[in-house]
Homo-oligomer: A and B are copies of this chain.
């Protein structure tokens, strides 16, 4: 089968591509070609695989590629939340228009490809007329508070209509906050959910901008990838009518995250985390759901990570991979 991963040069997309190439098949069908479309070139280890073909550039210029007859598509490419808030037009173009270009291309191909769209828990938000529950469920009424969340939600519904019309066989999986992400802290308000684990393990100080009782729904990279692949492989019937579902997340407090870090990596590592409240970030986070549930994903056999300790251990294991920085575990060596 011929697959496409958009955003396949990014952290999650590349990891998904590696996992698919390792599996070698989806739903019992051999993966013969895996195309990666991204603004940036795909990592070298992926491009070295004979099955992989990279396409670098804006999705809006990839129309002919999208029409070329894919059997399956994972659509992860997206401008992120902060970018969309800063540049409204970029968000509309990168998320809404680019996805429409992809959907139209798949429709033109005419072979009704299966497609998984990476949506987000950002479709939910506080709602003065209908309070958001502490735990957002599959059937919680969305109320996005960012352009990013708005685009994700609009695409969920557009994908459902393309599917209803028989143009594609689509489904949308709402990702919880993925942690521990590698790399540098970024401008995202959720950045610290990775930073308070990643930086201490590297022996570097990390600032936690919210208090320790803040609760959030998180998922390890491996569990997130498993979710995307499982949703891809699920039959239409197993999706139970509605095509968008929450992926499972582990609902944890910052305190529990740091306790797990200490249990896995020791008190010296834990001490690298300092609490310095940032009112702006704390304000944003206060508007987020305290946790998520994923009943329909559970029906597909998907469950949250077993514990946050397991998530920390997974990151430590990841750091041994060649594309993780050499100093990533320097904090453990002291």
A residues apposed to B, CB below 8 Å: 88, 127-130, 138-145, 147, 150, 153-154, 157-158, 160-161, 164-165, 240-242, 296
Contacts and interface: CB of A to CB of B under 8 A. Distances in A.
Given A147-B165, A165-B88, A165-B147, A240 B128 contact: yes
A112 to B, nearest CB: 15
Contacts of A88: 165
A182 to B, nearest CB: 31
Given A127-B242, A129-B139, A154 B144 contact: no
26 contacts: A88-B165, A127-B241, A127-B242, A128-B241, A128-B242, A129-B138, A129-B139, A129-B242, A129-B296, A130-B138, A130-B139, A130-B242, A139-B141, A140-B141, A141-B141, A142-B157, A143-B242, A144-B157, A144-B161, A145-B164, A147-B165, A150-B157, A150-B158, A150-B160, A150-B161, A154-B158
Contacts of A138: 129-130
Q: Secondary structure at chain A's binding surface: helix, strand, loop or mixed?
A: loop
A147 B127 CA distance: 26
Nearest to A85: B165
Contacts of A128: 240-242
Q: Which of A130, A138, A145 has the most CB of B within 10 A?
A: A130
A127 B244 CA distance: 12
Given A139-B141, A141-B139, A141-B141, A147 B161 contact: yes
A200 B129 CA distance: 43
A88 B153 CA distance: 20
Nearest to A137: B130
Q: Which 5 A-B residue pairs are closest in the complex by CB-CB distance?
A: A128-B241, A129-B240, A150-B161, A130-B139, A129-B242
A202 B85 CA distance: 56
Q: Which of A88, A139, A161, A164 has the most CB of B within 10 A?
A: A161
A157 to B, nearest CB: 5
Nearest to A240: B129
Nearest to A130: B139
A88 B164 CA distance: 12
Given A129-B138, A129-B241, 4 more contacts: A88-B165, A129-B242, A143-B242, A150-B157
A146 to B, nearest CB: 8
A25 B140 CA distance: 40
Contacts of A150: 157-158, 160-161
Contacts of A241: 127-129
Nearest to A100: B92
Contacts of A144: 157, 160-161
Q: Which of A88, A129, A145, A164 has the most CB of B within 10 A?
A: A129
